[in-house]
């Protein structure tokens, strides 16, 4: 799946893209396009203007291209107050991060509330995962339908994915997979994991061979989390598309039912984007339909799908849910997670292209310690005296945010929050606690990954019947 890893555009490229987007907005208005299409195009235009000002230090002026084509990198947030979220970009002006309540309203999803969490616990007989209890998975679409199916002994399956853009994943990439593994275990259902190496080839400066190599390396990281080979298929788009007529037929059906105008409106594509990008959303949609996996589901078309993913992936599945009834498939249900913040602060999510924004799964204990101590944005005060007197701010402190993901003990986390807020715990102590939490977690992952052989990867990536009867 797509993430925020495209390299920065030069000011001139941004200028050209802005000019094209301005023309597009004017064309839509002239043609009296739908309000939603126009709103989507205007939102993209405003986001590009923010990027342009961040890059050049100047406001965009039509007909005045930038004279200096060297990008100016500014680490500050966008200077407007609105959050901007799409499958490639996450921006917010708030050090607390994206306002997820507003995002739920804007995207039209539903909040995961206590009633839903209680129902999950009641049906599975298991305590809710701490990602649910702490609001890390915070939003959903049709999760009640999935629970209805489970309650009535009807099957469903889980689909999630990853856009393999580097040899190593970072800790933020683990979040959907950790939660997916828990869902798979408590509901005992099949799982398909899509690795979108085709997408990364289209969006990034990669050869097809390099994109596929990243797929294999990322598959090892996913397998190392402990997924059951008898219940899980991991597949590469580049490989699977040629092997599965069912998958390709579903891609084509989606393509037929989404117009060029719609895909431009949803994803902000321009007339200068390659046709591969424009057709890619249909490929990310296809795993939502059970007939894409005939070996697993015995050709059945009626099995509902649940997709755990970060909220920035939702545009793909809003499109999918719109198309599904028109091609006689059930709509996929979704559970959305918050973003895992960059070390420098919650204004953006981590990027695999910036080594210092992320803790990578290949980092040594020393690298983890250095990155946390040097780069993790602090909510503490400037001096010890001030900190003891006024306390720290957990809402903006990256170390505390990371602990909400990786410190499983609720009571200990609450004690940390109280101690840091009151000033009893210093920033250095909070950083040490995070280091002490991450170092063994990543070391253990590295040990498990070493045991993942080429043969094991091949087993997971071979289309086959899983341990379920359909």
Structure tokens at 316: 């793909």
Chain segment 36-61, per-residue pLDDT in tens: 788 888 888 888 887 777 777 777 77
Chain segment 278-334, per-residue pLDDT in tens: 999 999 999 999 999 999 999 999 999 999 999 889 999 999 999 999 999 999 999
What are the residue ranges of helices labelled H in 224-313? 237-240, 245-256, 260-267, 275-285, 294-297
What CATH architecture is 347-450? Orthogonal Bundle (1.10)
The per-residue pLDDT for 348 is 61
Least Cα distance to 107 among 117, 118, 98 occurs for 98
- Report, as ranges of residue numbers, the positions in the chain whose pLDDT lies below 50: 1-7, 68-80
What residue spans define the domains of the chain?
11-91, 100-342, 347-450
Structure tokens at 179: 């939660």
The per-residue pLDDT for 316 is 94
| pTM score | 0.80
The per-residue pLDDT for 35 is 80
The per-residue pLDDT for 180 is 98
Distances (CA, A) of 266 to 37, 273, 336: 8, 14, 18
Q: Rounded distance, CA 18 to CA 158, Å?
A: 38
Three-class SS state of 251: helix
Chain segment 100-143, per-residue pLDDT in tens: 888 888 888 999 999 999 999 999 999 999 999 999 999 999 99
What CATH architecture is 100-342? 3-Layer(aba) Sandwich (3.40)
Q: What are the DSSP E strand ranges found in 25-155?
A: 84-85, 90-91, 110-111, 137-141
The per-residue pLDDT for 89 is 65
The topology under which CATH files domain 11-91 is Helix Hairpins (1.10.287)
The per-residue pLDDT for 72 is 32
The per-residue pLDDT for 70 is 34
């Amino acid at each position: 799946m797509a993430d925020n890893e495209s390299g920065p555009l030069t000011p001139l490229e941004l200028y050209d893209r802005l000019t094209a987007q301005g023309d597009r907005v004017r064309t839509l208005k002239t043609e009296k396009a739908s309000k939603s299409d126009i709103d989507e195009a205007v939102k993209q235009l405003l986001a590009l203007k923010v990027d342009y000002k961040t890059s050049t230090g100047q406001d965009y002026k039509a007909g005045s291209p930038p004279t200096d084509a060297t990008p100016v990198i500014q680490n500050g947030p966008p200077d407007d107050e609105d959050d901007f979220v799409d499958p490639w970009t996450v921006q917010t002006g708030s050090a607390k991060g994206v306002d997820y309540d507003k995002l739920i309203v804007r995207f039209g999803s539903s909040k995961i509330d206590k009633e839903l969490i209680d129902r999950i616990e009641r049906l599975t007989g298991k305590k809710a995962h701490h990602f649910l209890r702490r609001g890390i998975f915070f939003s959903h679409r049709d999760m009640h339908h999935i629970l209805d199916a489970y309650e009535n002994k009807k099957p469903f399956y889980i689909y999630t994915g990853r856009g393999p853009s580097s040899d190593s994943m970072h800790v933020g990439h683990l979040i959907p997979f950790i939660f997916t593994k828990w869902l798979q275990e408590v509901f005992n259902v099949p799982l398909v994991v899509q690795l979108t190496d085709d997408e990364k080839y289209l969006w990034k400066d990669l050869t097809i061979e390099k994109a596929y190599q990243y797929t294999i390396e990322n598959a090892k990281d996913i397998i190392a989390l402990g997924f059951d080979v008898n219940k899980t298929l991991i597949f590469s788009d580049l490989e699977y598309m040629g092997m599965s007529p069912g998958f390709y037929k579903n891609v084509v059906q989606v393509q037929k039912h989404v117009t060029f105008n719609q895909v431009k409106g949803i994803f902000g594509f321009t007339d200068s984007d390659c046709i591969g990008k424009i057709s890619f959303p249909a490929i990310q949609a296809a795993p939502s339909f059970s007939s894409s996996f005939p070996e697993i589901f015995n050709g059945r078309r009626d099995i509902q799908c649940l997709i755990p993913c970060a909220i920035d992936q939702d545009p793909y599945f809003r499109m999918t849910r719109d198309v599904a009834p028109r091609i006689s498939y059930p709509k996929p249900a979704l559970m959305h997670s918050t973003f895992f913040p960059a070390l420098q602060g919650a204004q953006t999510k981590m990027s695999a292209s910036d080594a210092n924004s992320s803790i990578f799964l290949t980092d040594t204990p020393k690298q983890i310690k250095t990155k946390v101590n040097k780069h993790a944005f602090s909510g503490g005060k400037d001096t010890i005296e001030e900190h003891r007197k006024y306390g720290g701010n957990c809402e903006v402190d990256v170390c505390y945010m990371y602990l909400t993901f990786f410190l499983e003990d609720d009571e200990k986390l609450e004690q940390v929050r109280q101690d840091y807020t009151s000033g009893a715990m210093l920033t250095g102590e909070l950083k040490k606690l995070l280091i002490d939490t991450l170092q063994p977690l990543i070391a253990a992952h590295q040990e498990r990954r070493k045991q993942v052989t080429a043969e094991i990867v091949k087993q997971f990536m071979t289309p086959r019947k899983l341990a379920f009867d359909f």
